[in-house]
Chains A and B, each alone.
Chain A
Amino acid sequence: MEGLQHYTPLLMIFGLGIVFAGLFLLLAYAFGPKNPTASKLDVYECGVPSMGSARERFSVKFFLVAMLFLLFDVEVVFLFPWAVLLKTFKEAGMGAAVFWPMFVFLAMLGLGLLYEWRRGGLDWD
């Protein structure tokens, strides 16, 4: 279990956060007025009665951004252990063993980014 006791406060703060927020919502429920009317419960649409549903189909641009983010996120995740290790390996005189694999990795993804850029994948319009 050693090393894991650091995570107990996390669990607690999650619990406390929920309790804290719940308490305030309860207070608000207890003190707040409750007289809803039809126009209060309507969504805001510049003052006129709302038309249609808000859940329309969305642009594919958002999908592309999420895809890009996912790929680069995975890449950055690979970079984290490398960043932690480089110093220790360097001090042990084995810096090159960690440095070159990442260099190749970065070069590959850099090319991928360049391709994406040239083909307009990074353009929002």
Chain B
Amino acid sequence: MTILFYILAGLALISAIAVISFRQPVYSALSLVVTLFSLAGLYLTLHAEFLAIIQILTYAGAILILFVFIIMLLNLNDDELKEQTPALWRRIVLALLGGFTFAGLWWGVSKFEGDVKNLPQGFGSIINSGKLLFTEYVLAFEIAGILLTVALIGALVLAKRRLKI
């Protein structure tokens, strides 16, 4: 079990680094697939099978294809992909932001008080996730619906702006 975690976590880290190191954006997108698959594997080891399959379905399926389409839409040529050293202030700001995110994660994980060893039967199955979604988090669920509608309209407005509709 622990070995599985290290393999998957290692794979996720390596491919995540590959995402930001490849010069060619298509390779980055494909490394992202590997990251997402290893994350799905990690979810599985955490007994969250519904989440794992959804991860593959939406991220590896939908979001990746969106990325690939965007890459082809922009189609940067080799000159534009040349190595550029970002300005110093940018690097500092980004390092600070990354540091803050990491600290936040650290804090969140250290605050976690749950019994991970003795999970109830069927934890993370679609039935239990669904029950929570439709009872305790029903408001969040409806807000997600509004968000999706807004995104639907926003995508249309952005993509069709030149057509003046």
Contacts and interface: CB of A to CB of B under 8 A. Distances in A.
Interface of A: 1, 3-4, 7, 55-58, 60, 62-64, 66-71, 73-75, 77-78, 80-82, 84-85, 88, 97-98, 101-102, 104-105, 108-109, 111-113, 115-116, 119-121
Given A80-B126, A120-B165, A58 B72 contact: yes
Nearest to B155: A67
A49 B47 CA distance: 56
Contacts of B149: 108-109, 111-112
B134 A97 contact: yes
Contact of B45 (A4, A102, A104, A108): A4
Given A58-B69, A109-B145, A81 B159 contact: no
Interface of B: 1, 44-45, 47, 49-50, 54, 57-58, 61-63, 65-66, 69-70, 72-75, 122, 125-127, 129-131, 133-135, 138, 141-142, 144-146, 148-149, 151-153, 155-156, 159-160, 163, 165
B72 A71 contact: no
Contacts, number: 133
Task: Say what secondary structure dominates the interface of chain A.
Answer: helix
A29 to B, nearest CB: 24
